[in-house]
Amino acid sequence: MINNLNILFPEIFLSLSIFTILMLGVFIKKSFNIIFNLTLLIIVATVMIILSNPDNEVKIFLNSFTRDAFSNYFKILILISSFFVLNSSKNFILDNKLDKFEYPIIVLMSILGMFFMVSSNDLILFYLGLELQSLSLYILATIDRDNLRSTESGIKYFVLSALSSGLLLYGCSLLYGFTGSTNFDLIADKLTKENTGAVFAMVFILVGLAFKVSAVPFHMWTPDVYEGAPTSITSYFAVVPKVAGLALLIKFMFIPFSNILLEWQTIIIFISIGSMILGAVAAMVQKNFKRLLAYSSIGHIGYALAGVATGVVSGYQSAIIYISIYVIMNIGAFSCLYLIKKDGQYKESISDLSGISKKHPILAISLLIILFSLAGIPPLGGFFAKFYVFVSVLEQEMYTLAIIGLLTTVMSAFYYLKIIKTIYFDDSAITFDLTKNKKAQFSIFASCIFLVTFFLYPSIFNNMVTALFVS
């Protein structure tokens, strides 16, 4: 039993820390700064703990909780991206008076939820983790409670997400009904193509997961929530829950539904194509930068799902590489928003970017790198992300998917170019405040350096990702 607790140590550490800093927050006045810094410290400590543990596969608690290389990779990705998102958004939080001490604590709780999601090997544990994450995200979306748009976006997110959770739960219960178990491994054994009810259940589960990663046709909430929520929350939404959602999609495909892969695959192909096309088309007419990033994230999830849709390990690996690079690009893109300020107000419409190339040459060139990378132009990191996905898609001879994917790349290049046009070609009528925000600058710098130098050693992720599917 003690050994089992050892395996659960990162989760235990995280929960105990949450309780501790919650107490601290209650009893110390003006505690935001302390709690915030402690949160960052906890995240770093959790990364250390995970890294110090071996990552051979262990299943505990009646095989309901797995610790393996797969879950550890995703946990570390979640932690590192949360660290950068939180760290770079600190000044934004302070400037917008969002400095409630609950903020970082709720972020930690959502991380805890995601931990259980990626480690779950059982429907119940999976659902509990998902709900812990979702509930935290509802609160985060409405954290700016005096702001009408933030509240609206939070309510919208809550209603739609609760609906999708309901569908997901319904799917879980059907699955239990038709297979007689909630354990992933047992479900995988019992599930066959003849089991129509289970296929039915699979569709409901897929709907729930597609909602969480905001894939078409369950993407409706994304633009509104991204636009309405404060930028610091949006950047968290755009990065971290997507990682967990994708991990779950891969896990469901890999373990419980591996016998009905064909049915599952067909749906994912359609979802992927839909997301890629919608992401490319709808983003063209956007005027708000956050809303544009929302559509672009839908498109990017489409590419990652194209990797998942292959239904083979190399495809899953490419999807994981894709999401990892996506995370890095988006952290950079959102951090740029923290630096664009006029008269004390953060600006988020694209036209406000006009002429920053003269006032902030370094910011402009960073944004240039990030946007070209998002568009997938070589030699930047974003190209390799797409390249790996299409290599595995074409390995499965899914030519339609590959060609549609690449054509939407060209379409989406159009709106990234439009932003670059605003930055570099248009004359500016606005003068910006010179913002000193070391933390955001650090995130942008790190992200740009990564994207630019990625071509020197493009197999950096391949080595890590290959180890995830050994079992």
Partner 1 sequence: MNFPILSTLIFLPLISSLFIFLSKSKTNNFGVISISLFGSIATFFLSLFLWYSLDTSIPDFQFVEDQSWINNFIKFKLGIDGISILFIVLTTFITPICIVSCINSVRIRVKEFLIAILILETFMIGVFCSLDLVIFYLFFEAGLIPMFLIIGVWGGPRRVYSAFKFFLFTLLGSVLMLVAIIVIYWITGTTDITQIYEIKIPKEYQNLLWLAFLSSFAVKMPMWPVHTWLPDAHVEAPTAGSVILAAILLKMAGYGFLRFSIPMFPNASEFFTPLIYTLSIIAIIYTSLVALMQDDMKKLIAYSSVAHMGYVTLGIFTLTKQGIEGSIYQMISHGLISAALFLCVGVVYDRLHSRMISNYGGLVNYLPKYSFLFLVFALAALGLPGTSGFLGEFLVLTGTFQKSYLAAMLATFGVVLGAAYMLWLTKRVIFGSTNNSEIKKINDVNKSELIMLTVLAFFIIFFGFYPMPLMETFDISINSLIDNYQNDLNANQL
For partner 1, which residue of 138, 176, 200, 387 counts as binding (CB under 8 A)?
Answer: 387
406 binds partner 1 (CB under 8 A): yes
Cβ 457 to partner 1, closest distance in Å? 8
For residue 58, the cross-strand partners are 67
Scan residues 439-468 and list those touching partner 1 (CB under 8 A). 455, 458-459, 462-463
Contact flag: residue 149 with partner 1 (CB under 8 A) = no
Number of residues that bind partner 1 (CB under 8 A): 30
Residues 6+ apart with CB under 8 A from 259: 188, 191, 192, 193
Which of 256, 405 has the CB closer to partner 1? Answer: 405
For residues 384 and 303, the answer to whether their CB atoms sit within 8 Å is no
Q: How far apart are CA 113 and CA 306, in angstroms?
A: 26
Residue 19 or 455: the one with the smaller Cβ distance to partner 1 is 455
Question: Among 130, 254, 244, which Cα is nearest to 187's?
Answer: 254
What whole-number distance in Å separates Cα of residue 352 and Cα of residue 371? Answer: 16
Based on the shown chain and the rule CB under 8 A, indicate whether residue 159 belongs to the binding site for partner 1: no
Identity of the residue, 170 or 387, whose beta carbon is nearer to partner 1 in the bound complex: 387
Segment lying near partner 1 (by CB under 8 A), choices 8-16, 229-237, 318-326, 414-422: 414-422
Report if residue 379 touches partner 1, rule: CB under 8 A.
yes
Work out which of 372, 432, 450, 454 binds partner 1, going by CB under 8 A: 372
Any contact of residue 284 with partner 1 (CB under 8 A)? no
DSSP 262-327: HHHHHHHHHHHHHHHHHHHHHGGG--BHHHHHHHHHHHHHHHHHHHHHT-SHHHHHHHHHHHHHHH
Window 335-364: residues binding partner 1 (CB under 8 A): 361
Tell me the window of 250-258, 292-300, 377-385, 435-443 that interacts with partner 1 (CB under 8 A). Answer: 377-385
Smallest separation (angstroms) from partner 1 to the CB of 381: 12
Whether the ω angle into residue 217 lies within 30 degrees of 0, i.e. cis, is yes
Residue carrying the six token digits 């607790």: 5
Q: Binding of partner 1 at residue 413 (CB under 8 A)?
A: yes
Nearest distance, CB of residue 98 and partner 1, angstroms? 37
- Out of 145, 193, 287, 421, the residue judged to bind partner 1 by CB under 8 A: 421
Q: Is 189 one of the binding residues for partner 1 (CB under 8 A)?
A: no
Using an 8 Å Cβ cutoff, are 300 and 245 in contact? no
User: What are the structure tokens assigned to 39, written together?
Assistant: 């949160």
Tell me the residue length of the chain. Answer: 471
391 binds partner 1 (CB under 8 A): yes
Burial of 146 (0-12, 13-18, 19+ CB in 10 A): exposed
Is residue 415 a contact residue for partner 1 (CB under 8 A)? no
Does 19 bind partner 1 (CB under 8 A)? Our answer is: no
Question: Looking at this protein, which amino acid is placed at residue 408?
Answer: T
9 binds partner 1 (CB under 8 A): no
In DSSP notation, 60-120 reads ETTTTEEESHHHHHHHHHHHHHHHHHHHHTHHHHHHTT---THHHHHHHHHHHHHHHHHHB
Q: Is 400 in the site for partner 1 (CB under 8 A)?
A: no
Residues that bind partner 1 (CB under 8 A): 361, 372, 377-379, 383, 387, 390-391, 394-395, 399, 402-403, 406-407, 409-410, 413-414, 417, 420-421, 424-425, 455, 458-459, 462-463
